[in-house]
Structure 1
Amino acid sequence: MNEQLYNTDYAHWAETMAERLDKRDFEHLDIENLVEEIKDLSKRERDRLLSSIRLIIHHLLKWDYQPHKRSRSWEITIKRERNNIDFYLEDSPSLRKYLSEEWVTKIYRNAYLDAMKETGLDFPQNCPYSIAEILEREVKQ
């Protein structure tokens, strides 16, 4: 029954599992799917952080390579995503391990493609930004 509920009504399944956990009804838990969901929670948190980094890089590329088109909107997006990163790290300090050159290199490819599709410009093949620049560099119109 747990598997069927998981596949047909995820929200109801989650509520049911929470109730069973709260009541310490361990015998009726859907352990297999609970384990997968807990693993996915970590990935979702990581992906939110990486998405913010990607957006910042995307907007920094546009900022640097299209100075004549700089907008308050780009500035707001960069600052908003930096604030989001601060919140993510406050809630989950272990996410700091993704603030590395290795992860920036992985993320850069997608940010580069996004910016290239949007602008028609060609950008450097390798990320021109350090972690510190991504997280702290001043952008003002």
Structure 2
Amino acid sequence: MSFAKHPKPQPAPAAYEEDAYTWALEQAALLRAGRFEAIDVENIAEEIETVGRSEFARLRSSFRIIMLHLLKRDRQPERRSRSWVSSILTHRLDAAETLAENPGLKSRVSEALAGAYARARIEAIAETGLPEGALPETCPYDLDAVMTREIQWAP
């Protein structure tokens, strides 16, 4: 008795909009196999751009949290806490790591700081109850202050 080899049935390709996880695995397999004619060029390009935007957002988020706690420490010294210090130090490490992993972001640090400050200012006003005029509209911190300004553990 002879058994003919039948090709293993392949699942239908996942559409990008319906199952991004399966689609990503399929696209990676196609790229690795050199089947460039079968790849979803437009959506792969979009995903690659999304990675870049995510890394920028990650940097801006770290800066936002650092500046939020710097603003609160500067405007309400009587409320200083060790958790604010911990948050500042942790997010400094995150920002430094993001910049080290993505050197191309260095050219966008000023933009990230400005966007982060706008968000940090809103949060600081909400969390402290201070009037809007108590905090400058433009960022008072440069990269050096955000990343290296000395912060004491004691309140």
What is the TM-score normalised by the length of structure 1? Answer: 0.91
- Superposed, 1:1-141 pairs within 5 Å as 5-100=15-110, 102-122=111-131, 123-140=135-152, 141=154
My pick for the range that moved more, 15-24 or 90-99, is 90-99
The whole-number CA distance in structure 2 between the counterparts of 1:90 and 1:105 is 20
Shift of 1:98: 2.1
- RMSD of the TM alignment (CA)? 1.5
Letter aligned with residue 24 of structure 2: A
Which is higher, the Rg of structure 1 or of structure 2?
2
Shift of 1:27: 1.3
| Number of equivalences | 139
The whole-number CA distance in structure 2 between the counterparts of 1:18 and 1:82 is 34
**Runs of 4+ that moved beyond 3 A:** none
Shift of 1:54: 0.9
Does structure 1 conserve the Cα–Cα contact (< 8 Å) formed by 2:56 and 2:112? no
Shift of 1:103: 3.9
Per-residue Cα deviation, 1:29-48 (whole angstroms, up to 9, x for no partner): 01010011111111111110
Letter aligned with residue 129 of structure 2: G
